[in-house]
């Protein structure tokens, strides 16, 4: 396999799909060496097959807004790879959603899900619907219209969507309600991230952020460091940022920054329970601004149009969107003494940022390893649904701990360099790839 040849071919076939091409390139560069040691992969054209989604559904979603006006959005579901289990992955509602974004996310999901140790294939879906400023009734009507098109292509044993940016418990509820009505099937396993009284799992709302911090703890322990007493900068203020801020605080770190599209909140005294609760209220307000946090808590300061990476911190945790931390941000963080960066968002760092961190040999780990606790706990939700039982919070949390520990171990196994530095990007990509590739090989040419 030659990365350049495959990339040139993909660029020709999928011009302008920048996020997708970026995600593929990162994986191919990581696995090239290992791949070329396996002529059976080359013979079965594993890479050429793996980089293309199994299928893409795209559909029109028409709904009526509160003023009685008709709105039309585009909906998508990308079933990327089913080698190790039913399609599994979130749904993103964001105005910038397009095929490239969802293909990158579905591709990443395939390897991430393989890392979780659970039998889940990779998928992603979403819409260019913008939830900002929408009323609850509008959100409901949109979710219903979206599911009206999607329901026939998903199911507990075929494809199990969940939340992502712009889709939380409320949206999953509206989509699940409509699914039941259309499918006349009352199997809760069709979606994950459900409410706790109707098939949801304890710890699922916290799982992405909690799992990320468990992963960071392992990284730090391996490097002889501790999170206790460290300062942490977090981007975003949604569900993932909230989970990360909650666990970081519990582990004795000081969360000195959270951010939004409008700027950053400098929070030198760290989080309190009241502040953490307010993050959820801010998200639920659908305004997508973080400034009110500093109006409510006077020990915090809002700095408009600045990123979280302008705040001095030991540990940087991108928790919002892809490519939210670029090469300049990475250089600024390093200059301010940051010694660990972990992507909690999917592909949160640009290739330049990753190269900057790795060149400085600081601790750095990619989203598909760090944030896998979210989808892993979705997998645990599916198990509970299939068994018609619910586990205690402690039981789910201990399973999440175990999963994050094994993901960390897999990264170390495949990513340790001769000088002892762990290249977590390489480790995660090779570990995920090997599992999916072996499964594809064993299942023949399909
Ligand atoms: N959207 C999350 C992710 O990127 C969760 C997906 C899921 O739970 O299926 O992994």
CATH number assigned to the domain comprising residue 104: 3.40.50.10860
Q: Are 180 and 255 found together in one domain?
A: no
- How many structural domains comprise the chain? 2
Residue position matching structure tokens 């780990």:
365
Q: What is the pLDDT of residues 392-444, one digit of tens each?
A: 999 999 999 999 999 999 999 999 999 999 999 999 999 999 999 999 999 99
Residue 187's pLDDT is what? 87
**Inside any domain, residue 41:** no
CA of 353 to the centre of ligand 1 (A): 24
- Ligand 1 pocket, mutate which of 105, 236, 374, 384 (most atoms under 8 A from CB): 374
Return the pLDDT at 242: 98
pLDDT of 241 > 90? The answer is yes
Give 33 Cα–ligand 1 centroid separation in angstroms: 29
Do 316 and 216 lie in a common domain?
yes
How much is the pLDDT for 19? 98
- Residue 254 and residue 321 in one domain: yes
Confidence of residue 127 (pLDDT cuts 50, 70, 90): very high
CA-109 nearest atom, ligand 1: 10
Beta carbon of 239 within 6 Å of any ligand 1 atom: no
Do both 301 and 329 map to the same domain? yes
Shortest-distance atom of ligand 1 to CA 161: 9
Q: Is 333 in the pocket of ligand 1 (CB under 6 A)?
A: no
Confidence of residue 342 (pLDDT cuts 50, 70, 90): very high
Two structure tokens written together for 205: 């709302």
Integer Cα distance of 142 and 124 in angstroms = 18
What does the pLDDT read at residue 405? Answer: 98
Question: Last residue of a domain, which of 370, 404, 434?
Answer: 370
Arithmetic mean of pLDDT, 123-151 = 98
Give yes or no: residues 177 and 213 share one domain. no
Atom of ligand 1 nearest to the CA of 105: 4
Pocket mutation for ligand 1, best pick of 208, 212, 239, 322 (most atoms within 8 Å of C-beta): 208
pLDDT on residue 410: 98
- Any atom of ligand 1 within 6 Å of the Cβ of 246: no
Q: Check residue 11 and give its pLDDT.
A: 98
Is 192's C-beta closer than 6 angstroms to any atom of ligand 1?
yes
223 and 361, same domain (yes or no): yes
Q: Do 301 and 160 share a domain, yes or no?
A: no
Asked if residue 218 and residue 157 are part of one domain, the reply reads no
Q: Which residue among 350, 370, 390 closes a domain?
A: 370
- Tell me if 374 CB under 6 Å of ligand 1: yes
Q: Which domain holds residue 257?
A: 205-370
Question: Has residue 246 got a pLDDT over 90?
Answer: yes
The predicted pLDDT at position 286 comes to: 87
In a domain, 92, yes or no: yes
Q: Are 85 and 176 found together in one domain? A: yes
Instruction: Tell whether ligand 1 has an atom less than 6 A from the beta carbon of residue 238.
Output: no
- Pocket of ligand 1, candidates 105, 125, 191, 378: which has the most ligand atoms within 8 Å of its Cβ, to mutate? 378
What's residue 1's pLDDT?
85
Q: Within a domain: residue 38?
A: no
* Catalytic machinery residues: 124
- 287 in any annotated domain: yes
Q: Which of 109, 203, 347 to mutate to test the pocket of ligand 1 (most atoms within 8 A of CB)?
A: 109
Over range 126-132, report the average pLDDT: 97
Region 235-239: what's the mean pLDDT?
97
Alpha helix ranges (H) inside 364-423: 367-370, 372-387, 393-415
Q: With a 6 A CB cut-off, is 110 part of the ligand 1 pocket? A: no
What is the tens place of the pLDDT at every residue in 256-294? 999 999 999 999 999 999 999 999 999 998 899 999 999
* DSSP-assigned states of every residue in 263-309: EEEE-TT---HHHHHHHHHHHHTT----THHHHH-TTSEEEET--GG
pLDDT at 374 over 90: yes
The average pLDDT across 365-393 equals 98
Q: Residues 343, 222: one domain?
A: yes
Are the beta carbons of 293 and 260 closer than 8 angstroms? no
The answer to whether 234 and 257 are in contact (CB under 8 A) is yes
Residue 446 lies in a domain: no
Structure-token match 């289990």, residue found:
85
Q: Establish whether residue 378 lines the binding site of ligand 1, counting it when its CB lies within 6 angstroms of any ligand atom.
A: yes
> If you average pLDDT over every residue of the chain, what do you get?
97
Tell which atom from ligand 1 comes closest to the C-alpha of 372.
10
Q: How far is the CA of 109 from the centre of ligand 1 (A)?
A: 8
How far apart, in Å, are the Cα atoms of 219 and each of 78, 342, 408? 32, 10, 7
| 277 & 132 share domain | no
pLDDT digits (tens, 9 = 90+) for 215-231: 999 999 999 999 999 99
Give the whole-angstrom CA distance, residue 63 versus residue 30.
43
């Amino acid at each position: 396999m030659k990365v350049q040849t495959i990339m040139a071919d993909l660029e020709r076939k999928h011009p302008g799909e920048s996020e997708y091409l970026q995600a593929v390139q990162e994986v191919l560069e990581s696995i090239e060496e290992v791949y070329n040691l396996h002529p059976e992969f080359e013979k079965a054209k594993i890479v050429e097959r793996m980089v293309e989604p199994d299928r893409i559904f795209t559909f029109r979603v028409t709904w009526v807004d509160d003023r009685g006006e008709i709105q039309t959005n585009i909906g998508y579901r990308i079933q990327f790879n089913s080698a190790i289990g039913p399609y599994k992955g979130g749904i993103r509602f964001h105005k910038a959603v397009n095929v490239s974004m969802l293909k990158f996310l579905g591709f990443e999901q395939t390897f991430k899900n393989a890392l979780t140790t659970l039998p889940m294939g990779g998928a992603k879906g979403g819409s260019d619907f913008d939830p900002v400023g929408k009323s609850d009734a509008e959100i409901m009507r949109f979710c219903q219209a979206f599911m009206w098109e999607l329901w026939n292509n998903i199911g507990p044993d075929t494809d199990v969507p969940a939340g992502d940016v712009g889709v939380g418990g409320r949206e999953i509820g509206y989509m699940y309600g409509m699914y039941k009505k259309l499918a006349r099937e009352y199997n809760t396993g069709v979606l994950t991230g459900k409410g706790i009284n109707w098939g949801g799992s304890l710890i699922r709302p916290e799982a992405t952020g909690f799992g990320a911090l468990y992963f960071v703890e392992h990284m730090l322990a391996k490097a002889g460091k501790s999170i206790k007493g460290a300062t942490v900068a977090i981007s975003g203020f949604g569900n993932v940022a909230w989970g990360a801020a909650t666990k970081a605080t519990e582990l004795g770190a000081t969360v000195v920054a959270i951010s939004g599209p409008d700027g950053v909140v400098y929070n030198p005294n760290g989080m309190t329970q009241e502040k953490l609760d307010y993050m959820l209220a801010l998200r639920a307000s659908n305004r997508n601004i973080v400034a009110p946090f500093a109006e409510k808590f006077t020990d915090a300061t809002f700095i408009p149009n600045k990123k979280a990476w302008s705040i001095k911190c030991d540990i940087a945790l991108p928790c919002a969107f892809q490519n939210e931390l670029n090469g300049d941000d990475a250089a600024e963080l390093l200059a301010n003494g940051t010694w660990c960066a972990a992507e909690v968002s999917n592909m949160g760092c640009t290739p330049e940022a990753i190269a900057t961190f790795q060149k400085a040999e600081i601790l750095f780990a990619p989203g598909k390893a760090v944030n896998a606790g979210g989808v892993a706990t979705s997998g645990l939700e599916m198990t509970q649904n299939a068994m018609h039982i619910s586990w205690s919070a402690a039981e789910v949390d201990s399973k999440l701990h175990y999963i994050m520990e094994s993901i960390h171990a897999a990264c170390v196994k495949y990513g340790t360099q001769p000088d002892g530095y762990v290249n977590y990007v390489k480790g995660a990509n090779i570990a995920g790839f090997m599992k999916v590739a072996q499964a594809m090989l064993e299942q023949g040419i399909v």
